[in-house]
Amino acid sequence: MTWRWESFFNHAVTRITEKLDLEPYPIPIDMVKKVGSTGSRSNPIDVTTTSWGVRNAKLRQARAACVVAEPSPQVLNLVISPEPSFDLPFFGADLVTLPGGHLIALDLQPVLKRDRLHTEAVWARLLPLFDHFRPLLPDGGPIPEEAEPYFSPCFLWTRLPLTSESDTLIDGPLMDAFVAYLDLYLELVLEAVSVDDVRRQELREGQLKYLDYRAEKDPARGMLTRFYGESWTEDYIKGFLFDHR
Ligand code: DBV
């Protein structure tokens, strides 16, 4: 069965693995693939969540969570967390299809948003992409105020109805934006050189703030708990999705 974000997942895996030399990221066995159910007793719906992860000397973790049920929810949540020895942002994509519509978040998320050494060169290269794609996608409206420190000024955030016009936008401009943002990110990774210990500590603290925020506020917590129970969900969020080994 194909799912809404399959082409995005396949592109990301292909691109990440062809551009970087990687090893698998250790994923606890009961998190590789988890089947649960939702819907009513008379009309139960299987919900499968699969996890993918890789790492290398520059990337602490590049991982995807794919949540698939027919007809929804269908989610691709892709986060790439750099090793703190490299002055790099996170890559964050949250592609979510719910009964009420699609919710799309795409960004190179700053680890230290107020630090010009960390942001200036990246934003100079990201802004032209943002300026090109922003007008092609409707604005997603307000996001949680407390999430603001974690988004760049080039955060592509949109909400789309479940229509064929949305499918055209998703398979056209949104896919192009996803490819462009990911390609820029992978270039930054290839160019990155390691930093000194003082800078590494600053970056590690910034990363922990982001990871702890997302683990604590994960908007998927309610959904995952409904499908798989609280214990598995908490382990999944803290032990894989936003872990910080
Ligand atoms: N989001 C995740 C993971 C998911 C996931 C791991 C495995 O981080 C899915 C699944 N995100 C998901 C779902 C929803 C959202 C919403 C199911 C909808 C929840 C609902 O409305 O029922 C970007 N994702 C969101 C929202 C934002 C993002 C801003 C809306 C939150 C809200 O409306 O309150 N990316 C996401 C995010 C940050 C980010 C929250 C914060 C730094 O970088």
Q: What is the pLDDT of residues 69-86, one digit of tens each?
A: 999 999 999 999 999 999
The tens digit of pLDDT for each residue in 151-161 reads 999 999 999 99
Spatial contact of 227 and 45, defined as CB atoms under 8 Å apart:
no
pLDDT band at 182 (very low <50, low <70, confident <90, very high): very high
Measured in angstroms, how far is the CA atom of residue 191 from the centroid of ligand 1? 30
CA 28–ligand 1 middle distance (angstroms): 23
Nearest CA owner, ligand 1 atom 12: 220
Ligand 1 proximal residues by C-beta, below 6 Å? 65, 67, 73, 75, 77, 92, 94, 96, 103, 105, 109, 143-144, 147, 150, 214, 218-220, 223, 241
Predicted pLDDT at 9: 98
Q: Which of 33, 34, 52, 94 to mutate to test the pocket of ligand 1 (most atoms within 8 A of CB)?
A: 94
Residue 57 in contact with residue 21, Cβ under 8 Å?
no
Rounded to the nearest angstrom, the distance between the alpha carbon of 30 and the centre of ligand 1 is 23
Average pLDDT in the chain: 96
